[in-house]
Amino acid sequence: MKDYYDILGVPRTASDDDIKKAFRKLAHQYHPDKNGGDDKKFKEINEAYQALSNKEKRAQYDRFGKTFDQQGGFGGAQGGPFGAGAGGGNPFGFDFNGFSQGQGADFGDLDDILGAFFGGGRGATQASTKRGSDVQVVLEIPLKEVYTGTTKNISFESLISCDTCKGIGYDKAAGVKKCDVCKGSGKIKEQHASFFGTFTQTRECSTCLGTGEIPKKPCATCHGTGRVKGQRHASVHIKEGVRDGQVIKLQAEGEAGLRGHEAGDLYVRIKIPLHPHFRVEGDNLITTKKVSFADILRGEALRLEHISGRSISFDIPPHFNVRGSVVIKGEGMPHSGFSLGSHKKGDLIIELELQTPKKMNEKAKKLARELADELEKDEK
């Protein structure tokens, strides 16, 4: 009899985790449901795992070269790697206690459960082979257009509907015929021998994609898939006030589906580049304005160009701390989803940056001293 450790490809000093990992890898490789699977090899792997995953059986095997199982050797379902018993060595957490284990029993949706591990199942087939994949693109929007809102036309490479066959994958005039593989039912039933019994698996026919029909004359352009590589075009409406990192979903604007089935969705992620003069915090728009002593002394209104391109005027209030900020209500960024002209906007915050004179002549110095004296009198 071949050594169980050799079957799993692990040394005799292997840990429980090493044995479990080796079994998973080999079970995935040789499972009879997969292409290139080997039922005999799989049963051998299972037998070795059942012995080495159970501490008592492994101890017996290490000592005597065999194990003693009064319940019928290693073939019992409760001792297998999918069993629910405490000593079953369940690496996947599946519990099949509620399933019938009779010969030829129909396990219903068991194929979906197995598909999660072995890469098949009806749900996976339908989701991956019919509907087009979702697509994500990044779209840069300058801050000015974030304020006003805009519409952008974008293009990206993807699978698009075939123009020759209009996406159906075949010559419509030639028509279709009954699928020879599934005999027109759209489904395939397969019996599989497993370590927990024989079960029947029902899956969608991959030849006709569950329709029961195949084209008499497949499209020569797309080779029957209904889609080809090309440029996909979409129009994206950007509402004012959109935020950096926000994602806009465009339904059915992603990759074309197989043979005319539903297209995937397009997800547009917004990226707002840094602006040289403005930054956004919440709904507030923040900028910096350089002011001089002369600006303050004149007492005249100051002006700056708003992100929208408008000219905004503001005054420096009396007894104002120039290290503070001037706040203009309602001139910030729109709340996302609200129209322009409404009161649903943040504030414009102007941070003042005071600049001292580069130099002063004697006349300016004299006037400055006189002004300082007068200001001190007013403060008293």
Task: Using a cut of 0.75, tell me whether the model's pTM lies above it.
Answer: no
**Separation of alpha carbons 124 and 116, rounded Å:** 8
Joined together, the tokens standing for residue 360 give 């002063």
Sign of the C-alpha dihedral computed for residues 148, 149, 155 and 158 taken in this order: positive
Joined together, the tokens standing for residue 341 give 């002209």
111 in Cβ contact with 122 (< 8 Å): yes
**Separation of alpha carbons 238 and 143, rounded Å:** 12
- How many Å from the N-terminal Cα to the C-terminal Cα in the chain? 109
**Residue 227 three-state SS:** strand
Report which secondary-structure segment, H or E, holds 4: helix 4-8
Phi-psi region of 277 (alpha: psi -120 to 50; beta: other; left: phi over 0): alpha
* Interval 304-321: pLDDT, tens: 999 999 999 999 887 788
Task: Write out the DSSP string of 191-207.
Answer: EEEETTEEEEEEEE-TT
Residue 158's closest CA among 236, 225, 222, 228?
228
* Interval 149-163: pLDDT, tens: 999 999 999 999 999
* Interval 360-376: pLDDT, tens: 788 877 877 777 776 67
* Interval 321-349: pLDDT, tens: 877 899 999 999 998 654 444 458 999 99
Report CA-CA distances (Å) from 119 to 35, 91, 122, 159.
Answer: 11, 17, 10, 24
How open is the CA angle 241-242-247, to the nearest 5 degrees?
A: 165
